Amino acid sequence: MQDIAFYILLLIAVIAGWLLGKISLFSRRKSERQTTDLFQDYFVGLNYLLNDEPDEAIDTFIKALEINGETVETHLALGTLLRRRGKVDKAIRVHQNLLARPGLDQVFAASTRLELAKDYISAGLLDRAERLLNELLDENTPAQWDALKHLITIYQTEKEWAKAIDCSKILLANSSFKKDLKLRAAAAHFCCEQAETALSQDQLSQAREHTKSAFTFDRHSVRASFLLAKIEQCLGNYKASIKELIRIKTNNPDFISRLLEPLSQCYRQLGKMDEYETLLENTLKEKSDVNVMLALAELIRERADDAATIDFLSGQMAAHPSLKGLVALMDLKAPDTDIQFGNNLQLLQQLIDRLLKKKAAFQCSHCGYESKSLNWLCPSCHNWDRVRPILGTEMD
């Protein structure tokens, strides 16, 4: 059905182009033979469509369209249609033919270069696209704003974060884009990428500067908060790290599972595990979470014994059943059972572990992409900040 709709739209575009071309021909008193040739080309193109030869039909329609002032928009629409249908090479040909036309209006020339740059991006020819887009920036036309957006896409793909940030700043300086939250969030992530690189090279002060820059774009950036907490922890500023982590817990409770390990490390370094246990207890009272429950069970086991841990887990399981909790409970009870029952418990535990390992932990709210690890940039739809922890799966 999509292919049929595409060819219908293509045919409409061609007919529209012919009508406009015919008006132009009439006004210029062209010969009737040219009109007859156009009709012939369209009938040839239709014949290709009927014989299920779409590529030949497209070639015929492109040839039939006369490039003049009245059909430029039709060519642009046709090129866009071809690109969206994956016919990138043909879209490039349409737009290159347009640009080759002498005396093309400046506005149309800018639009055509923009479309051609999109073709190149789709084809993976990023260097060519970048060159065209930079030309549009130099010309200072209305197309420059769209050019900046596509340059950001290119620099993001090539991981040239500094250039992506520069383009973002220019866009955000324009009042029309100043409150673009999506653009601000993306710019914050570009800064975070720089901070991650600096962290990997043990350049902590530089990493901190990049993180602060991220907050200038998006003061609520979860990733920037995580990075700042990690930097403070690396510097031995455990209280500052805890403060940042608790701020994330308050504003973004969905990320609690990623907060537990660094919180535990910081409280342990300070020798204040009792405060950490109190924090977990209060968190569990606010909202049941299997990861918090298991972290608390581990603390109880450290300071008490297995019996106290079993009592705690049994009470939690009765109120809030979960597969992860069941695995932990079986692990504690297995040593006290007879051999046959213990073997059965072990088998059940292995089956549940296998089931849990297959489950995704994160999902993109935009396209539904699922993964076991957190990706700040969705690998499927390429949107920032859309991948979130999956809550409430398999009774967890």
For the chain, what are the domain ranges? 322-358, 360-396
**Mean pLDDT on 345-354:** 67
Task: Provide mean pLDDT across the span 310-327.
Answer: 83
- Between the CA atoms of 256, 265, 247 and 239, what dihedral angle is there, to the nearest 10 degrees? 170
Tell me: the pLDDT tens digits for 104-114? 778 888 888 88
Greater pLDDT, 222 or 354 = 222
Q: Amino acid letter at 37?
A: D
CB contact at 8 A, 150 and 129: yes
> To the nearest whole number, what is the mean pLDDT of the chain?
80
Q: Three-state DSSP class for 69?
A: coil
Residue range 19-47: mean pLDDT, rounded: 46
Phi, psi of 350, deg, nearest 5: -65, -40
Sign of CA dihedral 135, 139, 140, 142: negative
In b/e form, how buried is each residue of 336-373, taking b as 16+ CB within 10 angstroms? eeeeeeeeebeeebeebeeeeeeeeebbbeeeebebee
User: For residue 371, is pLDDT > 70?
Assistant: yes
For residues 238-257, average pLDDT: 93
φ, ψ of residue 140 to 5 degrees: the values are 55, 45
CA atoms within 13 A of residue 37's CA, in its CB half-sphere: 11
At residue 317 the predicted structure's pLDDT band, cuts being 50, 70 and 90, is confident
The contacts of residue 283 (CB under 8 Å, 6+ apart) are: 249, 256, 289, 292
pLDDT, average across residues 168-178 = 92
**Rounded CA separation 118/129 (Å):** 7
Whole-angstrom distance, CA of residue 323 vs CA of residue 358:
13
| H helices present in 28-125, as ranges | 32-50, 54-64, 72-84, 88-100, 106-123
Place of tokens 């629409």: 77
CB 14 within 8 A of CB 61: yes
User: Which residues on neighbouring strands pair with residue 364, listed in sequence order?
Assistant: 387
Task: Output the CA–CA distances (angstroms, integers) from residue 38 to 6, 45, 74, 85, 95, in the order listed.
Answer: 21, 11, 16, 25, 21
In the DSSP assignment, the letter for residue 178 is T
Widest pairwise Cα distance in the chain: 102
- pLDDT for 329 equals 77
Q: Which of 145-154, 319-328, 357-366 has the highest mean pLDDT?
A: 145-154
Which of the given ranges, 17-31, 87-101, 108-122, 226-240, has the highest pLDDT on average?
A: 226-240
What is the three-class DSSP state of 120?
helix
d(CA 11, CA 329): 67
- pLDDT tens per residue across span 254-309: 899 899 999 999 999 999 999 999 999 999 998 888 899 999 999 998 888 888 88
Cβ atoms within 10 A of the Cβ of 252, count?
17
Is residue 348 a contact partner of residue 372, using CB atoms and an 8 Å limit? no
What pLDDT score does 266 carry? Answer: 97
Beta bridge partners of 342: none
Residue 194 pLDDT > 70, yes or no? yes
pLDDT digits (tens, 9 = 90+) for 61-88: 555 555 555 567 777 777 787 788 788 8
> Token digits for 108?
């149309």
Whole-model pTM over 0.85: no
Is the CB of residue 360 less than 8 Å from the CB of residue 371? yes
pLDDT at position 4: 54
* C-beta of residue 130 within 8 angstroms of C-beta of residue 164: no
Percent of the chain at pLDDT > 90 equals 39
Looking at beta carbons, which pairs linking 201-210 to residues 24 or more positions away fall under 8 Å?
A: 204/231, 204/234, 204/235, 207/231
